[in-house]
Copies of this chain bind each other. A is one copy, B any other.
Amino acid sequence: MFKQFSIDGGIVAPSGFYADGIHAGLKKNALLDMAFIYSPKIANIGAIFTSNRFQAGPLRHFQKHNIRETNFILINSRNANAMTGSKGIADIESLFDHLSKKINLHNPVMSSTGVIGVYLPLEKLIAGAEQFDLTAKNGDRAARAIMTTDAYKKEIAIRVELENGKSYSVGGMAKGAGMINPAMATMLCFITTDLEVSSDDLTRLLRKNTRTTFNAISVDGDTSTNDTVFAIANGEAGFYDEESFDSTLQMIMKYLALQIVADGEGAKKLVSFHVRGAKSEADAEKIAKTLGDSLLIKTALFGEDPNWGRIAMGIGASGVEVSEEKLSIAYEDVKVFENGLNLFNAEIEARAYAIMKRKEFTIYCDLGLGDGEFKSYACDLGYEYVKINADYRT
């Protein structure tokens, strides 16, 4: 048994972590655009990366050096260092060579988001790093420095207390997954803990919990070259407890994932697709994700149109074996289709419409075929999304 408490501080809430965001001149208007996470005590690190075949420079740099422990993560926005070939990796190495004159680096790690196909502005980054104060505990500023089209920063911290009196903390920050003018933005997430967790355990638990969190959300269905989730553990707490850590990691990843959806480009709604009664969890997952990715469904959410025909279309289009006669669809507690029968009438439509007006709600799809279930999360898609993504680069 354990207790979890929400606390302040984000990624610097756990003991022994330092972080800050500064303005290196990548963004305009003196906005924060470069950040670091520093742990004087060398920390274990686990990672999961995008499934995109063109992994960006920072991802390939991390894998090239097979990094399993580090004391320093450098993050920049406005430049993804993607499609930059071997120079993209060499630039990171050269950057860290420079920084190592000032900072005692151990397997430093980089993470980037921004324009594709442009080499890193090394001089700006080196000059920017001159501003770093390694004793700063400004998780808030780091969370703001990694933002691109995000409307607000995303951070969280949880303190865990075990029955035996021991305690530790986990912090996290993330930035959103929508595309940015002039090029691609990315989902980045950084999780810190003072618990003693091995690199393998970090990666395994990240992977386990990604399925129902970051992989269950959809903003536009596209996959970036830079998507990354890092977790680092410096062991300052002096012990390991998997049960509570797994639970806390899941909670933090779920929170940040939902924040990303809610802050999707131009998004006004956060909608859950709860698929139940599937033959298997895999079937339910496939359907829930198809619904969350469907452009027709997303635009219907934007239009607040309780158009269950599109939900049925999405279920049928998923490729999963389903039965019209056993299918039921409900907007929250308002059933619109039950066991193959359309229940729509003026009253039901008015009630469903009222639910569509909400900022957050769940659409339930019961397949009536088994016990498999899965929840996905999506935002609506409207004019603002088109505006953000269609504007010519300036």
Binding site for B on A (CB under 8 A): 51-55, 80, 82-85, 115-118, 179, 182-184, 220-225, 294-296, 299-300, 302-305, 307-310, 312-322, 324-325, 337, 340-342, 344, 353, 381-383, 385-387, 389-393
Contact = CB atoms under 8 A, between A and B. Distances in A.
A393 B116 contact: no
A312 B183 CA distance: 11
Contact of A54 (B53, B54, B184, B313): B313
Contact of A386 (B321, B325, B337, B386): B386
Copy tally for this chain in the complex stands at: 2
A261 to B, nearest CB: 15
A387 B385 CA distance: 13
Contacts of A80: 309
A112 to B, nearest CB: 13
16 contacts: A51-B319, A53-B315, A53-B320, A54-B315, A82-B309, A82-B312, A83-B309, A83-B312, A117-B308, A117-B312, A182-B307, A221-B295, A222-B294, A225-B312, A305-B393, A382-B386
Contacts of A315: 53-54
A344 B117 contact: yes
A345 to B, nearest CB: 12
Residue of A303, A312, A325, A386 with most chain B CB atoms under a 10 A cut-off: A386
Contacts of A381: 295, 386
